[in-house]
């Protein structure tokens, strides 16, 4: 069943992890509650953000750079004291394994420090003057206004903060809505927000999107919609805004990143990278490899060795050592993955690993499908879970044409050795996606690198450096003398 149960003014948050209770029953545990806000409370949070921004004249948007940094430093030092609670909730709420949960927390802390440093640099740069045609210009970056931030369940801390932190430091005020799964783990940090920022600068809304987020958009008072998630919710929210021309967007959306394995690839390396690329956090990453193209000369060997490795992966609870595969937080996900497998099989694919598709209540063992017909749903839908479509190709033009036709354009992984083959291919691939990973799986980090995509995969660019720009506007003071 659903892990979030709405019970009047509060929502009960249940764990993804199932345990045996005192009476012997097996099931999710009640982890805690969060408020189930109504429209009026959500609009109050918006009012607070608008008042704090005060059309650019509030305390926060006009605050000196060093004072804003001091608030952020205070926040991050208080945040660090809550590491254990947040890591524990990452495991229980969304089933992320221990090393990845710790990484998510530490990476977020690091992200905040990098943001502070980059912001200082931006300020130093703005102290420089340009002079053209007798006019001196003193460039500054100013805030955009009130930002609605919404992060996804797969990185409920890190990606929510990858929007929130740069938006804040640039002087915007923020309303943020935690993801449906991973909502509780943000609550230990709310006190740190309260202690560190002036009133109304950071506002959280709990509740169902259509009850709390849609009415906020509907007021037309949101200047920036910052969202990492699926295109459907992104479009639905934008549609609520009465004046879309005024609304700025910063969005990380869906992707269908392919791996292309050339005949001269180092197979050990390619297989290992494809394992982590397809299955870390059970494939629930926008950057996950979601389709594998393997050259026909090596397809049999690749498939055999890849499938054996998939079957050797350990499934278990997130805190158990060596566990890569963990329970899935979305109750409908195992059934959906099963549908994709059945559909691909009905169109000619085989499940080529022994354990593929083994189903339990909140898990489905990863299935490797080969050869996948392009009519199969798993070929075009973003599966966001443990199912791996494999296709073989004869000419490199086949995957290139598919990528050119795709609605997505985030990243690609390219495996091969001969630089004479790789170099021209890379030149083409960078025109189809935004990041080419050479002999490695796709990923967002390190967070200083631009994170974006072509077509339906993104709007604007995230990363420490780019996000400061995405959440601000370039302004300048012009004068005749220096
Ligand atoms: O869900 C998409 C995330 O941005 C993936 O980030 O590559 O660090 O796992 P990651």
Distance CA 446, CA 442 (A): 11
Distance CA 417, CA 310 (A): 25
Examine the pLDDT at 315 and tell me if it is beyond 90: yes
Examine the pLDDT at 1 and tell me if it is beyond 60: no
Question: Which residue in this structure is represented by tokens 């003398």?
Answer: 481
Examine the pLDDT at 269 and tell me if it is beyond 70: yes
Number of helices and strands (H, E) in the chain? 15, 23
Average the pLDDT over 380-395 and give the result: 98
- CA–centroid distance, residue 475 to ligand 1 (Å): 32
Q: State whether ipTM is beyond 0.90.
A: yes
Average the pLDDT over 448-464 and give the result: 97
- The residue to mutate among 159, 231, 255, 382, having the most atoms of ligand 1 within 8 angstroms of its beta carbon, is 159
210-266 pLDDT tens trace: 999 999 999 999 999 999 999 999 999 999 999 999 999 999 999 999 999 999 999
Distance CA 83, CA 92 (A): 14
pLDDT band at residue 126 under the 50/70/90 scheme: confident
The predicted structure's pLDDT at residue 97: 98
For the record, the structure tokens of 348 come out as: 């000619």
Residue 116 Cβ < 6 Å to ligand 1: no
Residue 172 Cβ < 6 Å to ligand 1: no
The predicted structure's pLDDT at residue 108: 98
Question: Any residues with CB less than 8 A from the CB of 404 and at least 6 apart, and which?
Answer: 432
Whole-number Cα distances in Å, 207 to 32, 152, 323, 423: 14, 14, 32, 49
Contact 454, 434 (CB under 8 A): yes
**Nearest alpha carbon, ligand 1 atom 6:** 444
Nearest to 367 by CA among 375, 380, 359, 357: 357
Residue 444 Cβ < 6 Å to ligand 1: yes
Question: Which residue in this structure is represented by tokens 């959306």?
Answer: 253
Examine the pLDDT at 90 and tell me if it is beyond 80: yes
**Nearest alpha carbon, ligand 1 atom 7:** 443
- CA–centroid distance, residue 250 to ligand 1 (Å): 16
Question: Any residues with CB less than 8 A from the CB of 249 and at least 6 apart, and which?
Answer: 224, 225, 226, 234, 238, 459, 460
- CA–centroid distance, residue 287 to ligand 1 (Å): 5
- CA–centroid distance, residue 443 to ligand 1 (Å): 6
Distance CA 46, CA 147 (A): 10
Average the pLDDT over 128-132 and give the result: 81
pLDDT band at residue 23 under the 50/70/90 scheme: confident
């Amino acid at each position: 069943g659903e892990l979030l149960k709405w019970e009047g003014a509060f929502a009960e948050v249940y764990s993804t992890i199932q345990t045996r209770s005192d009476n012997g029953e097996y099931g999710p545990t009640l982890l805690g509650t969060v408020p189930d806000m109504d429209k009026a409370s959500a609009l109050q949070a918006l009012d607070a953000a608008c008042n704090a921004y005060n059309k650019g004249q509030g305390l926060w948007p006009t605050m000196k750079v060093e004072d804003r940094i001091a608030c952020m430093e205070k926040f991050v030092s208080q945040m660090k004291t809550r590491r254990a609670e947040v890591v524990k909730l990452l495991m229980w709420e969304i089933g992320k394994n221990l090393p990845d949960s710790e990484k998510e927390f530490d990476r977020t802390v690091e992200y905040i420090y990098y943001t502070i440093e980059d912001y200082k640099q931006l300020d130093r740069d703005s102290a420089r003057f340009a002079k053209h045609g007798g006019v001196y210009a003193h460039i500054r970056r100013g805030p955009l206004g009130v930002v609605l931030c919404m992060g996804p369940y797969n990185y409920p801390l890190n990606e929510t903060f990858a929007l929130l932190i740069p938006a804040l430091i640039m002087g915007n005020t923020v309303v943020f809505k935690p993801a449906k799964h991973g909502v509780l783990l943000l609550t230990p940090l709310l006190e740190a927000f309260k202690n560190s920022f002036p009133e109304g600068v950071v506002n959280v809304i709990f509740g169902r999107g259509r009850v709390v987020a849609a009415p906020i958009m509907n007021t037309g008072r949101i200047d920036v919609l910052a969202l990492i998630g699926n295109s459907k919710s992104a479009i639905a929210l934008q549609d609520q805004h009465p004046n879309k021309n005024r609304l700025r967007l910063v969005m990380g959306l869906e992707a269908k990143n392919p791996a292309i394995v050339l005949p001269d690839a180092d197979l050990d390396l390619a297989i290992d990278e494809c394992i982590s690329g397809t299955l870390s956090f059970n494939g629930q990453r926008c950057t996950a490899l979601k389709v594998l193209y393997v050259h026909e000369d090596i397809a049999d060997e690749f498939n055999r060795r890849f499938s054996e490795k998939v079957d050797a992966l350990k499934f278990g609870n997130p805190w158990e050592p060596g566990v890569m595969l963990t329970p899935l937080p979305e109750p409908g996900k195992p059934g959906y993955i099963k549908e994709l497998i059945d559909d691909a099989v009905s169109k000619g694919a085989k499940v080529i690993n022994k354990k593929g598709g083994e189903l339990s209540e909140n898990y489905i063992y990863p299935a490797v499908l080969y050869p996948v017909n392009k009519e199969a749903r798993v070929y075009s839908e973003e599966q966001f879970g443990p199912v791996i479509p494999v296709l073989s190709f004869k000419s490199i033009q086949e995957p290139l044409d598919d990528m050119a036709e795709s609605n997505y354009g985030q990243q690609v992984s390219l495996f091969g050795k001969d630089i004479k083959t790789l170099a021209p291919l890379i030149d083409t691939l960078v025109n189809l996606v935004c990041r080419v990973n050479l002999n490695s799986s796709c990923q967002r980090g390190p967070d200083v690198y631009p994170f974006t995509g072509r077509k339906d995969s993104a709007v604007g660019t995230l990363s420490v450096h780019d996000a400061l720009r995405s959440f601000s506007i370039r302004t300048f003071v012009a004068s005749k003398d220096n």
